[in-house]
Amino acid sequence: MKHLLMTTTATLALVLAAPVFAVGAHDAGHDKAGDHGADHMAMMVGQPGTAQDVDRTIEVAMRETDDGRMIFEPAMFDIEPGETIRFAVENRGELEHEFAIDTMARNVEHKAMMAEMDMEHDDPNSVRLDPGASGEVIWTFANEGAFEVACLIPGHYESGMHGPITVGHGMPHSDGATQVSLTYSTGTVKKIDAKAGKVTVIHGPLANLDMPAMTMVFRADETVLAKLAEGQEIEFVADRVKGKLTITAVK
């Protein structure tokens, strides 16, 4: 059922209002009491992915350094909106470490909880590994935004175990930090003007912008334009960026 949330029908609108996970498709049978992992099914940072959906594998090492720091290698991740990543994580250190992805705010919150009690996580957005052990997290980054990988074992974050995860431009579509809208619309590319950074699309309704089906010219950056060809049928996210209609993401 959860996967249906991210299917690509024209009218599907997914609006996540932080920190409330409003999608309403949480595991109905999931016991929420005392389980802070229950709301991980649809979070700002995305949702659990499946092996069949993996677009890319990123190998990550966790270890201590000779000068007393603790690190992720690599410690920065650039991800395209909609990408499903398999993080193949290996603990090459002498201590237990954790690889957890979330918003910075939620990592901070989580870290405070772990400072009070060293809890074991069994959440799909994290993996905790003994020295020498390997594991994986498969995650679909549905939303543009700035997120974070962190080890939330007390003291480890402060020792360096955190790093940015940038999805798309690293900015939510909406201006406020409180809301991310991710609404895919469908259309057919009519014309591309790469020089001007414009693309003409015969599109269906743009639900998030409250616009009916028609043909319009959108702005698009090189990353988006590179994915487009004239005549192509696309699923895309349209939004107003600095007052201009812009295609911010393409599936």
Minimum distance, C-beta of residue 135 to Cu ion, in the bound complex (Å) = 13
Q: Site for Cu ion (CB under 5 A): which residue of 40, 86, 106, 156?
A: 156
Q: Site for Cu ion (CB under 5 A): which residue of 86, 97, 110, 203?
A: 97
Output phi, psi for 168, to 5 deg: 65, -130
Following CA atoms 120, 126, 128, 131 in sequence, which dihedral angle do they give, to the nearest 10 degrees? -170
**Partner residues linked to 70 by β-bridges:** 64
Q: Site for Cu ion (CB under 5 A): which residue of 151, 165, 199, 234?
A: 151
DSSP helix/strand/coil, 107: helix
Q: Which stretch binds Cu ion (CB under 5 A): 30-38, 72-80, 154-162, 188-196?
A: 154-162
Minimum distance, C-beta of residue 161 to Cu ion, in the bound complex (Å) = 5
Minimum distance, C-beta of residue 126 to Cu ion, in the bound complex (Å) = 11
Give 236's contacts (C-beta < 8 A, 6+ positions apart): 184, 185, 186, 187, 201, 203, 224, 247, 249, 250, 251
247 touches Cu ion by CB under 5 A:
no
Strand 47-48: give its sheet, edge to edge.
47-48, 134-140, 84-91, 56-64, 70-73
Minimum distance, C-beta of residue 144 to Cu ion, in the bound complex (Å) = 28
Q: Which stretch binds Cu ion (CB under 5 A): 40-48, 83-91, 149-157, 228-236?
A: 149-157
**Partner residues linked to 87 by β-bridges:** 58, 137
Q: Which stretch binds Cu ion (CB under 5 A): 94-102, 130-138, 177-185, 206-214?
A: 94-102
Q: Which residues bind Cu ion (CB under 5 A)?
A: 97, 151, 153, 156, 161
